Structure 1
Amino acid sequence: MVWRNIFKTIILLLIVSGFLIPGAFVSAQTPQQQERQSLEEELERLEREIQKYEDDIEITQQQKKSLQNEIYILQNSIRKLDLQIYQSNRLIGDLRVQIDDTATSIIRTEEEIGKVRTQLGEILQRIYEEDRKTKLEVLLVGDQLSDFFDNLMALEAINTKNRDLLSDIEALYEYLGGQKEALESEKGEEEYLVKISLLQKEESKSAKSQSENLLEITKGQESEYQKLLQDKKKQAAQIRSRIFELIGVPEAPTFGEALDIANIVSSQTGIRPAFLLAVLTQESNLGKNVGRCYLRNTSNGSGVVVATGRAISRVMKPSRDIQPFLLIVGDLGRDPLNTAVSCPLSYGYGGAMGPAQFIPSTWNAYKDELSDILGKPADPWNVSDSFLAAAVYLVRLGANRDLYGAEWCAAVSYFSGNCSRKNQIAYEFYGDSVRAIANRYEEDIKTLEGQ
């Protein structure tokens, strides 16, 4: 019968649609679980090896200063950093697999939504066509009176399933929204992990350079090393004249000049000078590794690499940073299309400005407070202004509290946005590295003050 064939087709469509629910996309796969377990075991092994090197370094640091011990510390630091770099690369690789899986799942979910919408459209079209028929037409089409009641029952079943389909679509859209949020979160984590890896490579490079320089200065002789330790005046002169590398400024100050600025900022904010200098060192290490770019398109945020002129997208996030950036450079009389900012990594956006590496939207939130202190518009590319901006921000994050972990947590927050338990674990290297740099700078400052 025509009626029965029509409704049989519709009911089959409805039965198929019953499988199009979000749960179908999230079932765990045994190979993935095995791979995850294998990765976790490898990371635990790496953590144990890294901890062993850290313990060895700490023990050696407590022993008498000798050339052999100093070289041993640097060599162990390099080995530890090599493990940390490998660990970061494994995490980045795993996260990129997750990103690809999530992106694929989003595509599948969108396809399933399209299928359900098509099926729903077909059903609604059938209902619309049947609703246009008069009761007399319906009665005349059926050979028997029972056909009429069969059709009524089928219509009722369709209306019920129609509501179920709408519910499924809502669930699919909700699931899709969750997937898109997860994808953005995963991309953000990948960006931070890449930055951590860059810092680890920079620190490893620095440790190798220190080892080579130490051997060159002492010619591998313990007596020469001890002379170097005793010559405080020479040490102080070397420390004071050492270049303090900063990103985003035409001429980097010496360590002595940077310390003078940090001391002034410390008197204004209560921040510890060595800690402030350590954070700025980390940010400059990041900045010089990601490169410098010019914004070229104020609509979509694309631009070019300063060094090569190569076109690049995502120099600045349009919805968040372009308008604040235009306001900042406008107040300073700078050309927005020829003012260098950081380039983007593989995911996320660039746009960080000057030595303190503030993104425009964050700088905009502090610029009035900074201008009140300075008595002029604050300039993120000015060394003194950027030092003050970093200090004010770090104080807001609790860095001036008299607690051992306060500075560490403020450093992690400066890097990642907050000091949640998750970020403490994920970005421990950044906090530890800032603390280690600050400790070295504190020793340098003591040498300068005691000369």
Structure 2
Amino acid sequence: MKRPTLRRFSRPAPFWAIFIVSCAIAAVPQFFAFAQENGSAEKRADLERQIQELEKEAEGLDVIIKGIQGEKRTLANEVSVLNAEAKKRELEIRRLDLALKKAKLEIAKKETGIAGLETKIAKSRKSLSASLFALYTYDHESIISVFFKKIALSDFFATLAGIHQVQAKIQEGLEIFHVDVKELEREQAELEDFRQEQSDIKSLQEVERKFLTDKKKEKDKLLKETQGKETVFQQVLSSKKRDIATLRTQLFYIERTGITAEDAIKFAELAAKRTGIRTAFLLALLEVETGRQFEDGVISVGTNIGTGSWKRDMYDCYIALKKPKTAEAQKEAFFSITAELGLDPEKMPVSRRPSYGCGGAMGPAQFIPTTWLLFKERVAKLTGHNPPSPWIVEDAFTASALYLADSGAASQTEVGEIRAAKAYISGSPNCSTSICRWYANTIVSLSRSIDRVL
């Protein structure tokens, strides 16, 4: 009688096949061509070098301007200052153009990196699925039942070792997967920041072009009024009258929102006196900030309260950006503010959502709801309005002044004001991005021009 062939357990072979396939799937190819990456890095470095050169040139002009302003006010000196300021504005426009090119390169780099991470994560999912399937196969047959199937002892231990390897592979894969997902979230957040910076640069370029045009007009106006004569210039100075026409030029964006130059000066002086900062600095910051919002389409002509809605431009925006906690926090703060003021939140307009980032800022100083709540009680104490409203000019200007004073402007020094301006746009007085540097320097420069007229 023919001896029956011993039936051996045959699953280890498929397991090893699955294991090898899963390892192959997990292998991530090299997504970036080193030559291309090095080329992009060189371009970014070259752009940064050019930006720094322009910054040094602008700093040199700043020294000249401050030096002339420290001398006696003469027609010749006044014209020299206006020429230097116009030249500085031209440099800033060129610098912003370079910063825009650099931002585009950074965005391209981030997009490439994100695409690579997304592909890697997709492959990791497939690898984990394969490993989990292998483990599932063995989990549905106990070790004891496998042992009693009369397989060779060596095959049994090979199977057992294979199971342990699959488990280890799954654990390792999960750890890598979680790291990659967190890295992807971080890269996506940074990409959003770069896109926001790109949007800001574009709007700030328009503001800078407006300032350049104003400087040229201011010079032409000065020469026309004085007829190029020093005696006439000194007569204008001795009259000690505020040149409202010039101030209207300097407060162009604020006036476009519906706040007159006279009211802007009045409430800025009140706020500055109450908080210990310079009136000219507060006006300059509000003008630049308003111009930035204008050119980005956040606010529009004739309204200092915006044309957006809390739901569409704030809440839904943060939800879309996967920031549900921020969405809920801003919603809760906004509803608290409107309820206390007896206002209908559905009828109170806020800033529209810009090209990147979210809207929801309130009133002429463009405070977001949660930030307003931080200053509400102090504003009430200073203005006597209880509760204060972010949509009332006096309250809004006072809140801005408090924020700036807390951030360094109370020192009334250039260093302190630069730190305060950086904090206003970024939340950090130590911000070193192109946007922060431009924003702070432009505000300080504009404040000097306003100071001469005030």
Give TM-score scaled by structure 2 length.
Answer: 0.78
Pairwise CA distance, 1:415: 2.4
For residue 232 of structure 2, what is the aligned residue in structure 1?
Answer: 227
Q: Number of residue pairs matched?
A: 427
Query: Could you tell me how far 1:233 is from its partner in structure 2?
Result: 5.9
Match of 2:42 among 21, 34, 43: 34
Q: 1:209 aligns with which of 208, 217, 238?
A: 217
Contact 1:20 1:168 (8 Å CA) reproduced: no
Letter matched to residue 352 of structure 1: A
* CA apart distance, 1:91: 1.6
2:407 equivalent to 1:405: no
Find the counterpart in structure 1 of residue 368 from structure 2: 359
Shift of residue 278, structure 1, vs aligned partner: 2.7
Deviations 1:100-139 (A, max 9, x none): 4324433432332232222222222222223434656677
1:238 to 218, 225, 243: 243
CA distance in 2, matches of 1:321, 1:387: 21
Does residue 276 (structure 1) correspond to residue 289 (structure 2)? The answer is no
Unaligned runs of 5+ in 1: 304-312, 446-451
2:314 aligns with: 301
The alpha-carbon distance between structure 1 residues 367 and 285, as it changes in their structure 2 partners (threshold 3 A), is same
Letter in 1 for 2:260: P
Secondary structure of 1:347's match?
A: coil
Contact 1:371/1:377 (8 A) holds in 2: yes
Residues 81-120 of structure 1 aligned to structure 2 (within 5 Å): 81-120=89-128
1:419 is displaced (CA, Å) by: 0.8
CA distance in 2, matches of 1:7, 1:13: 10
Give the distance between the partners of 1:197 and 1:178, measured in 2 at CA.
29
Aligned residue runs from structure 1 range 282-293, under 5 A: 282-291=288-297, 292=299, 293=306
Q: Which residue of 1 aligns with 2:259?
A: 252
Question: 1:121–1:138: structure 2 CA closer, same or farther, 3 Å change rule?
Answer: farther
Rounded Cα–Cα distance in structure 1 between residues aligned with 2:350 and 2:214: 25
Counterpart residue number, 2:4: none
* C-alpha separation in 1, matches of 2:53 and 2:403: 37
CA distance in structure 1 between the partners assigned to 2:313 and 2:216 by the alignment: 42
TM-score (norm 1): 0.79
Paired AA for residue 180 in structure 1: Q
* Percent of aligned positions that are identical: 26
- Map 1:132-281 to 2 at 5 A: 132-133=140-141, 146-194=154-202, 196-218=204-226, 221-223=227-229, 226-232=231-237, 236=241, 238-239=243-244, 242-243=247-248, 245=252, 247=254, 251-255=258-262, 257-281=263-287
Change in 2 beyond 3 A, CA 1:413/1:18: same
Q: 1:335 to 1:241 in 2, by over 3 A?
A: farther
Name the counterpart of 2:354.
345
Q: Which moved more, 1:356-365 or 1:24-33?
A: 24-33
- Report the alpha carbon displacement of residue 148 of structure 1 after superposing the two structures with TM: 4.1
Summarize the Cα distance change of 1:186–1:438 in structure 2 as closer, same or farther, 3 Å threshold.
same
Q: CA RMSD in A?
A: 3.8
Structure 1 stretch displaced more, 231-240 or 347-356: 231-240
SS in 2 for 1:125: helix
The structure 1 segments of at least 4 consecutive aligned residues displaced by more than 6 Å after TM superposition are 23-28
The one-letter amino acid of 1:270's match is: G
**How many angstroms does 1:227 deviate by?**
0.5
